[in-house]
Amino acid sequence: MQFTVTILGAGSATPTLNRHPSSQLISYESENFLIDCGEGTQFRLLEYKIRPGKLKGIFISHLHGDHYFGLIGLLSSLNLGGRTEDLLLFGPQGLDEILTLQFKYSQTPLQFRIIYIPTNTTQSTLLYEHSCFNVYTIPLNHRIPCAGFLFQEKLHKRKLIKEKITEDIPFDYLRQLKNEEDIYDEGGNLQYSVADYTLPAPPSRSYAYCSDTRYDESIIPIIRGVSLLYHEATFQDDLAHQAAARFHSTAREAATIAHKANVGQLLIGHFSSRYKKVDSFLNEAQSVFPNSHIAEEGTTFNILSVPSTDASLLPDT
């Protein structure tokens, strides 16, 4: 199953010519989910040839404009495009009121249903259950209520060894073997063993998105051991005092969280517009957590099941 994240925007509140407000696309096999929807997100989707009409759901972390000002435009375009399929929308309390007001005064009747699910920004809760993964909230320490999102793949079943499977083995037996159940005959003798007929299931994969937040170690138990962590890094370490005052983090602090949470790999983004280049962010993060990477806009990253070398996080091609 393909499990990827595409970076649409990695800038902060003030856009620049080469960085855009926060937005990411999570793709699991053929299903797409948007995380945050900063201004111009629908143009980024079009630029990277991602069909907005294929979105199954949208997750909004908080109600600062750089994380949701593109939402009303995207929803309006979906409506004009003739969407009729339900759309899942996850976000903090008040988001539904904002959208209702916008559509009321623009006299825009939607042709599709928005299923709005409010997020819990004070404790980690199960937000959405998909057949292949669960999504949990990650309470973040920001100036207004804010929650990140943890996408946790469900455990896989063991794999059958094809060379050992013969036509005389009943289908129910195969199902039991995949569920780690040995098969015994009526006399209690082992007939088919899990160890002989199956291989271990591949480890599940996970992705944690931590948008605007101060350095806060309380999130570590929630994100511990995730395959890939995105953590905001608005400032560099020389402006750590300013980062704390504005409820943001530095690249070093993001890397420290990654190190203490023992994650597989780290992506950093949400860079302040004061920085024209971001190479120094990467150097700062890698000095603490070597497997750190820049959330480069337009790049798709594979979410892997186990920690690996830097080469494993090369763009998906």
Catalogue the active-site residues.
66
Whole-number Å distance between alpha carbons of 53 and 78: 6
Structure tokens at 122: 């004070």
Cβ neighbours for 226, distance < 8 A, ≥ 6 positions apart:
150, 206, 207, 208, 261, 263, 264
Contact between 20 and 29 under an 8 Å Cβ cutoff? The reply is no
SS3 label, residue 8? strand
Q: Are strands 159-160 and 147-153 parallel, antiparallel or unpaired?
A: unpaired
Task: Quote the DSSP letter at residue 156.
Answer: P
How far apart CA 147 and CA 163 sit, in angstroms, is 47
Q: Is 150 left (phi over 0), alpha (psi -120 to 50) or beta?
A: beta
Instruction: Determine whether 91 is exposed, middle or buried from the number of CB atoms within 10 Å of its CB (0-12, 13-18, 19+).
Output: buried
Residue 289, token pair as written in the block: 């957590």
Determine the residue type at 314.
L
Spatial CB neighbours of 282, under 8 Å, sequence gap ≥ 6: 251, 268, 292, 293, 294
Task: For residue 52, count other CB atoms closer than 10 A to its CB.
Answer: 17
Chain-centroid distance, C-alpha 274: 27
